[in-house]
Amino acid sequence: MKFTAKRIVVSGAVAGVAVVAAGATVIATAADPVSPEVVSAVPAEAGHENEGKYTTGDYVLDVHELDDDGEGLTTAIGPHTSYYSKTLHGTGNRQHTVVKFSAGVDGPVFFTYPVPAPGRVVDCVASGTEAAPQVRCETRLPAG
């Protein structure tokens, strides 16, 4: 292969773009971004105000309700189960600000969602597999 100035410049530019793209991926992953809140027009189920509802798929789902310091509660929910959390908005003087999800016992966090304002609930449904988990959350207004 004959090296020309044009080939060297093009090869260098392609390599530079690859390095920048890889760096952006690492930064985005390390930042652990919180997914945007999705507000649903469907009201919460009556009798479950201020609660979180988590429905699991084919795997154990760890739900971490945490405050700004990363402190809070973790609940492991078995496959094909719906769980209502009465601690969504925190306990005592600890106010939870985020819900993080991991698949399997002690798996890495794969999805993060903001805790809605008091009086609102969050309804999250897990799908996929433990190897490729997915969660979809919606903030719902109080019933009635």
CB 66 within 8 A of CB 27: no
Domain boundaries, the chain: 1-31, 52-140
CA distances (Å), 86 to each of 14, 15, 47, 63, 126, in order? 52, 52, 11, 13, 19
CA distances (Å), 42 to each of 57, 86, 103, 134, in order? 22, 20, 27, 21
Residue 142: per-residue pLDDT: 82
- H or E stretch at 32: none
Q: What is the pLDDT of residues 44-69, one digit of tens each?
A: 888 888 899 999 999 999 999 999 99
Residue 27: per-residue pLDDT: 34
Q: What is the pLDDT of residues 5-22, one digit of tens each?
A: 455 444 444 444 444 433
Whole-number Å distance between alpha carbons of 87 and 122: 12
Predicted TM-score (pTM) of the model is 0.76
Of residues 104, 124, 106, 103, the one with CA closest to residue 114: 124
